[in-house]
Amino acid sequence: MSGRILACGGGGDFAALLLELSGSPRPRVCYLPTAAADDSALVVGFYERFVPLACDPFHVPLFGIPERPAERVASADVVLVSGGNTANMLAVWRVHGIDVALRETWERGAVLAGASAGANCWFEASVTDSFGPQLAGLEDGLGLLSGSFCPHYDGEELRRPVYTRLVSEGRLPPGIACDDDAAVLYEGTELGEVLATEPGASAYRVTPAGEEPLTARLV
């Protein structure tokens, strides 16, 4: 039984939805700020958002001296991944076995989520600024979901032209692009629906033939 994955383009407050998706009256919510090198401001922001809610939030740092990180991730009902450097995050995760823990957690029915780098990671490939501001394709994702992903589709001027070009040239597999304030919700490995926290935000299916807008539901 695979769980759900909520991949966000950037921004948007989906906290309450994540708790609802977990199906638990008081879910354990794990925050992984690895992509931002465990930035303390992001960790504080996570607790400020989730402590008032009906959940048990905790974060798992991987810089410094980690303490049973894979085991702690595996105990979560919801795992929320920060934005930041996708490539660095994936490398650090693999050193500590977080990649395996995330797959096992998802396979037992947990909810995985994140925006930007925290969305790129679930797919086979993505568009990232991990290697510089010019953007590049990354084909080193966890591969829980097939195809590629592009965040910030309307929020950064280079995202759309770079992603559509990489897909049209066959350098990235076809996939999904999300505007800021929009997210795609997967039930297992199947795309369920597009959600948005702001009017006009949406997602697109991108293939070598072009892009197809997908209808979003405001939440």
The domain of 121 spans 4-218
pLDDT in tens, 132-171: 989 999 999 999 999 999 999 999 999 999 999 999 999 9
pTM assigned to the model: 0.97
What are the DSSP E strand ranges found in 110-202? Answer: 111-115, 123-128, 136-138, 145-150, 175-178, 182-187, 190-196
pLDDT band at 1 (very low <50, low <70, confident <90, very high): low
Q: Is residue 59 among the annotated active site residues?
A: no
User: Pick the catalytic residue: 22, 59, 82, 116?
Assistant: 116
> What's the CATH code of the domain at 189?
3.40.50.880
Q: For 96-105, what is each residue's pLDDT tens digit?
A: 999 999 999 9
Catalytic residue among 22, 126, 152, 202: 152
Structural domain count of the chain: 1
Catalytic residue check, 146: no
